[in-house]
Structure 1
Amino acid sequence: MRRPADIDALRQALCAALGSVEPVCSLSQLALGEGVFTDDDILHRPTLVTGAAGYGPTSPAPTAHDVDALVRRAEEAGAAQILVPGVRRTDDTGALRAAGFVPVAAGAECVVRLNGDVDELLRGRLGAERLDDLRRRGRVVSDDLTWERIPLSGLDKSPWARDAFADLHGGLFDAAALQALEHSRLADRAELLVRRRGENVVQAGLLVGSHSGRGLYCLALATDRDDPAARHDLHAVSLYQVYVDAHRDGLDWVHLGRGEADHQRALGADLFVPLDHWLRAPGLTAPEQAPTAPEVSRFTAPPVTTVAVPGPARFRHRPRFDLVDLSSNTNPFLGRGGRYPELDTTDLARTYLTAVAQLPGQGGLDALTDEYLLFSSGAVDAVMLLLTALASPGDRVCVTPPTFELYGHFARVLSLPVVEVPLGGQDMNRLDVTRMLAADPHVTILCDPNNPVGTRPDPEQVHELIAHTEGLVVIDEAYVEFSDKPSYAGLVAEHDNLIVLRTLSKAWGLAGARCGIALAQPGIIEAMRRVQVPFGFTDASQRAVRERLVDVRHVRDSIGDILAERDRMAALLAEHPTVDRVFPSDANFLLVRLHKHEQVMDRLRAAGVLVADVGRLIPDTCRISIGDRRANETLLDALTAAL
């Protein structure tokens, strides 16, 4: 709907509704002013309205040449103001700003992406309960109302539909505007959606196919609120049917227009593009332009400070859904799988932060924004990214053995000297902070809860380290959901040297989706993004993640099951003759010291039971993941057989 011919058709429709040659009206007539423009003069002055006028979802930012032409047209029409409504913030608005236009926040355009089965997608976005309710309401409505889609080009054969549409909408969407659209270039791609009971029209909408042939714009959808069917959430029910039909027809998206993000999210939208209205009016002054990207962190490796985010990831916030994309050199004849994954994960980041904040011990997460978050291909990928982006050859990396071995492995691969400061204490949960600080590392990596031990370092020591080190502190919280002690993730907004790593592979049960999360201040996230390979987070993974994140209750319940089984197994193993000691655990596994370690490990392998042999890190030990009851009983039987 950003093609000049389409925008011109919408402008002609507005002119028809206004009964004028030029689209000049007050902002109050456009219904754009309420809650946005508070000055009474601004609301009621004659205004030249351009772009996609009052109907379209967005207006492309005009060029300097276009702006000059707008100014001349406004003078000729006697309009004191000029409005360019609904411009994407990702567009180049330099010409508007230079000509004295002022931006005013206008919400977001909202898109439902159909990259999979509609029910599966909506279950992931709305949750199973909301989807089931929507489908139930749909069945009730379908028994009562008919469903018709009438091509706009053939509306002369159904004049009742035109009249009913105008009656339900009123205002600028009157019969004259609709008739103008019937004779425009949009007519062949447009149709009225009508639901009626007998001869009585209960709902009417206007759908327009995109010029790329890949999507559908829902430009209007009005319901008779006095009709009993309205009580069945008819708006959402009809949109659900639009999604189903669009997916059946091979379309990739449905555009819901401008709106408030939370409301449209409840209708299935998963892409939200921030918009501004740009107004040129007497006495208005533009505010200072905010920086478009965060400055990289002071910890960034020198080569990374001078490079941009690679390839198309630079434009991750620029919507591509409504473009004719001839830039990617892919095969267009083999379906959706031939397209690269979505790069804009802003809404998924918001969903993650909101969902995880519902779990115990996650205070402060819901106060972070998407700028504090980077999705990676598992948390281990995030370790490689941060070492690449934030450390230079020769910078020391401190680790605390026994710990996850890939920290030191990645550091050595990148020519970063590794300083080992072992954990102390009987439960291996004491940090030697004095020695760690004396090593003056550029990066210190803590595994908390620790893998393979399962214990957590003293929080006071962790806070001391963060406060006094000159370098970065990375806390890998892969297992933190199994702990009754709080996460450090909410602290990243307070410390520019703190990075917290999370994963959906453990408590969230999505190891196959390969989704890691780095949480840090925007300057660190920007540096990591500059070395990240684009398109590593697949559409399939994004769908799986979104579906799991709306199912927090089941995740919380499964964590409870694991903790109960962990405690049961810890008690049974502690009494088993093959076991010398069971270490305390804040994770979903147990570190066990064995009598006759090699013999027991051989017997377990022979019995087809696989546990992690970590005897090279901690003598005579193995790490046992908590499985379901059947798997755990099999392990206990195999241990007994090893006596």
Structure 2
Amino acid sequence: MFNLNDIIRPNVLRMKPYSSARDEFKGTASVFLDANENNLGSLAGENYNRYPDPHQKELKQRIAEIKGVEPDQIFLGNGSDEAIDLLFRMVCRPGQDSMLHLPPTYGMYEVSANLNEVRLDAIQLTADYQIPVEEVLLAIKPETKIIFICSPNNPTGNLIEPESIEDILRAFKGLVVVDEAYIDFASDQSWTNRLQEFPNLVILQTFSKAWGMAGLRLGLAFASAEIISVMDKIKPPYNINEATQELALQALEREEALKDMVEEIVQERELLINALPALATVEHVYPSDANFILVKVKDPNGLYNFLLGKGIVVRNRASLPGCEGCLRISVGTLEENQELLKAIAEF
């Protein structure tokens, strides 16, 4: 049976969160002299002289309506990287506890683990980039507090079999973090539909990919209200700025435009998947449920540098175990994709 108090760091259980001026004030007012703001206004624009809502209530309410969850099941962070870091701080004692991840996968899990002095345990994905569940379960130790699963996985692009994730959720007494940064491009449903079923489940999503808001740095975590309340307790008080909250609310009113953009990206992805195998240097194109494609080529370093010379930047993943010989290629516009294919053909 999962019990959050069993894995939270004792100092986090004991600590009192910072109480901001906006936390202490309740009700309505016309004169604000409590937060040492500049009451003359802001040189950056209207309203920016005031601190933003530290709890992002309006934005969370709108996200909750779209995602089919409750507002108290949502954490908003400065990118999903902030949520990753806070999860480590919440449950992992530096120098004592460990995490488990499944390479090849997103590199920030390892970076955050190292930053927080948390031991890294790794189980390599299978040849078809799925989870060897038995190996994972055998690798779990008493000090293992978090397992990270990226689905669709970065850099491989594929969804992880839901049965494998479910087996781990049921067997593990720590946090299982399912990173769904690319879920909008996949055919499968989000794990947010199963939050009530798994009290140890945390889902990460982002506005950086499908919503096209990478420059604003807005990430999401979905979990039980109990988990979210602890994340809110340890986050910086004003971690989401006013401009980001305003622009995100505007974007959420354009949900139909999101569907159109995703449809176009998926269509371009399939065109690339069909066209790339015909090129002489391409050895294998992996299936993708994301907005990028992992491609195995004969000379990854040579092709990468050749493309750079043409002004085309892709990601060289050839040094990652499990991705030998591979480049990761983001799906571009029709014109960009044609330019890419033409350059690879020239190589």
Q: 2:72 matched to 1:371?
A: yes
Task: Give the letter for the 1:439 counterpart.
Answer: A
27, 32, 56: which one pairs with 1:345? 56
Equivalent residue for 1:489, pick from 171, 178, 192: 192
Q: Distance in 1 between matches of 2:105 and 2:21?
A: 33
Partner of 1:193: none
Letter in 2 for 1:628: T
Give the aligned residue type for 2:329: I
TM-score when scaled to structure 2? 0.92
Cα distance, 1:415–1:501 mapped onto 2, change above 3 Å: same
The 3-state SS of whatever aligns with 2:234 is: coil
Task: Give the secondary structure class of the aligned counterpart of 2:294.
Answer: strand
Instruction: Call closer, same or farther: CA 1:431–1:296 in 2, change over 3 Å.
Output: closer
CA distance in 2, matches of 1:451, 1:297: 31
**Bigger strand fraction:** 1
Cα displacement (A) at 1:495: 1.6
Is the 1:448–1:455 contact (alpha carbons within 8 Å) kept by the matching residues of 2? yes
Cα shift at 1:417 = 0.5
Select the residue among 289, 303, 322 that pairs with 2:29.
322
Letter in 1 for 2:9: A
Aligned to 1:311: 19
Is 1:582–1:590's contact at 8 Å kept on the other side of the alignment?
A: yes
Note if 1:402 corresponds to 2:110: no
Corresponding position of 2:89 = 388
Describe the SS at the equivalent of 1:553: helix
Whether contact under 8 Å (2:22, 2:54) holds in the other structure is no
Give the Cα separation in 1 of the matches to 2:76 and 2:232.
10
Q: Of the two structures, which has the highest relative contact order with CA contacts closer than 8 Å and spacing of 6 or more?
A: 2
In structure 1, C-alpha distance between the alignment counterparts of 2:295 and 2:5, rounded to whole Å: 41
Distance 2:30 2:105 in 1: 48
Matched to 2:112, the amino acid is F
Partner of 1:438: 138
1:4-43 map, 5 Å: none
Query: Residue 321 of structure 1: CA displacement?
Result: 5.2
Contact kept in structure 1, 2:21 and 2:35, CA below 8 Å: no
Task: Assess if the C-alpha contact under 8 Å between 1:389 and 1:530 holds in 2.
Answer: no
SS in 2 for 1:342: coil
AA partner of residue 459 (structure 1): P
Helix, strand or coil: the match of 2:198? coil
The answer for the alignment partner of 1:468 in structure 2 is: 171
Aligned mates of 1:485, 1:395 — CA distance in 2? 33
Give the one of 525, 535, 545 matched to 2:228: 525
Q: Is residue 2:45 matched to residue 1:299?
A: no
Contact 2:301 2:316 in 1 (8 A): no
Pairs within 5 Å for 1:247-266: none
Matched, 1:620 2:325: yes
- Residue by residue over 1:271-325, the C-alpha shift from the partner in whole angstroms, topping out at 9 and shown as x without a partner, is xxxxxxxxxxxxxxxxxxxxxxxx9754321111111222318828x54652532
1:579-590 alignment runs, 5 A limit: 579-590=282-293
The amino acid that maps onto 1:332 is: N
Aligned to 1:93: none
Task: Look up the match of 1:363.
Answer: none
Q: Partner of 1:640: helix, strand, or coil?
A: helix
Give CA deviations for 1:516-547 in whole Å, capped at 9, x if unaligned.
11101111111111221121211111111111
Change (3 A) 1:522 1:444: same
1:547 aligns with 2:255: no
Deviation per residue, 1:402-460 (Å, 9 max, x gap): 000110111111111100001003x21x2122222222221000111000000111111
Instruction: Measure the CA separation in 1 of the matches of 2:64 and 2:313.
Output: 35
* Correspondence for 2:121 among 419, 429, 438: 419
Distance in structure 1 (CA, Å) of the matches to 2:270 and 2:342:
18
The Cα shift of 1:339 comes to 1.7
**Mapped contact 2:22–2:53 kept (Cα < 8 A):** no
Match of 1:516 among 204, 212, 219: 219
* Structure 1 residues 319-358: Cα deviation after superposition (integer angstroms, max 9, x where no partner): 4652532222222223332221122422321211222x4x
Task: Give the 3 Å change call, closer, same or farther, for CA 303–314 of structure 1 in structure 2.
Answer: farther
Task: Please give the alpha-carbon distance, in whole angstroms, between the structure 1 residues aligned to 2:28 and 2:179.
Answer: 35
Q: Name stretches of at least 5 consecutive residues in structure 1 with no aligned partner.
A: 1-294, 358-365
Determine the structure 1 residue equivalent to 2:155. 452
Q: Distance in 1 between matches of 2:35 and 2:276?
A: 56
CA positional deviation for 1:501:
0.5
Task: Tell me what 2:208 maps to.
Answer: 505
Q: Is the 8 A contact 1:304 1:389 kept in 2?
A: yes
- Checking the alignment, whether the CA contact within 8 Å between 1:296 and 1:305 is kept in structure 2 is no
Counterpart in the other structure of 1:638: 343
Structure 2 unpaired stretches of 5+: none
Partner-residue secondary structure (3-state), 1:474 = strand
Q: Distance in 2 between matches of 1:578 and 1:329?
A: 62
1:628–1:297 distance in 2 versus 1, CA, 3 Å: farther
Contact 1:296–1:527 (Cα < 8 Å) also in 2: no
1:379 and 1:551 map into 2 onto residues whose CA distance is 22
Distance across 1 between alignment mates of 2:234 and 2:22: 12
The alignment covers a number of residue pairs equal to: 335
Counterpart Cα distance in 1 of 2:170 and 2:49: 48
Q: What is the alpha-carbon distance in structure 1 between the residues aligned to residue 27 and residue 278 of structure 2? A: 61
* Counterpart secondary structure, 1:517: strand
CA, structure 1 residues 327+437, in 2 after alignment: closer, same or farther (shift >3 Å)? Answer: same
User: SS of the counterpart of 2:7?
Assistant: coil
